[in-house]
Amino acid sequence: MGEGLYQAISKAVTEGEEEEAVKRVQEALKSGSPPVEIMQRGIVAGISKAGELWKANEYFLPDVIMAADAFKAAMAVLKPSLKEGEGAKKGKKVVMGVVQGDVHDLGKSLVIAMLTSAGFEVIDLGIDVPLQKFIDAAREQKPDIIGLGAYMTTTMLEMKSIIAELEKQGLRRKLKVMVGGVPTSQEFADQVGADAWGKDALDAVQKALKL
């Protein structure tokens, strides 16, 4: 019975059926399934499948968006039942945020979905995140990686300031910085002193695994 429910959750996430995914997760919680299992065998399995289909060029962006939305909603329902750090297989922590002045949410959602499916623990600072909040998170959460997103040519300039501030506060050596977003590039990442550049959500995961 557990297995069938995990499969139903996984399928709902892969197919971007947000309401269905949420319903099944609630069912699974009620029936006493361990939250970590629900996450790994249901939700993460579902988003991983979506990632594979995307890589195989069978899924296109809208399909991935819907899957990421379903993933986000399902995780939101599960989160209160998860203990801190539980479910992250790799034990590596990533703090993600979109820089100040920028309100584009989509890319970040996709990256978080893919990172979680690869076993990272992800803390989402949200969008339009002030520089100080990144610094505080670096100090308090002690992440292995900080991921910065910007989706406009004007806001990506902020990334340089954030990295400089991390340096100034003596935090830079303790973590790796990855940047991403439509206007960014490898050249830009090198210019601002980032450790890696994610071309898209799939690439971001590959790079994060290597950091």
Which residues sit at the interface with another protein, rule CB under 8 A?
16, 57-63, 65-66, 69, 100-106, 109, 128, 152-155, 157, 183, 185, 187
Given the complex with another protein, which of 21 and 145 has the nearer CB atom?
21
Q: List b or e across 135-150, with b for residues whose CB sees 16 or more CB atoms inside 10 angstroms.
A: bebbeebebbbbbbbb
Cβ proximity to another protein: between 6 and 54 the closer is 54
Cβ proximity to another protein, 28 vs 73, nearer residue: 73
Pick the closer one to another protein by CB: 34 or 101.
Answer: 101
Identify which of residues 102 and 121 has a Cβ nearer to another protein in the complex. Answer: 102
Smallest gap from Cβ 128 to another protein, in A, equals 5
Q: How far is the CB of 114 from another protein (least distance, A)?
A: 16
- Return the structure tokens found at 157: 């300039």
- In angstroms, the CA 142 to CA 38 distance is 27
The distance of closest approach from Cβ of residue 104 to another protein in the complex, given in angstroms and rounded to an integer, is 7
Distance in angstroms (rounded) separating the CA atoms of residues 191 and 203: 20
Report, in Å, the least distance between residue 64 CB and another protein.
Answer: 9
For residue 153, list its beta bridge partners: none
List helix spans (H) across the chain: 2-14, 18-30, 35-37, 45-55, 61-78, 106-117, 131-141, 158-168, 186-192, 201-210
Give the residue from 56, 55, 60, 57 showing the smallest Cα distance to 16: 60
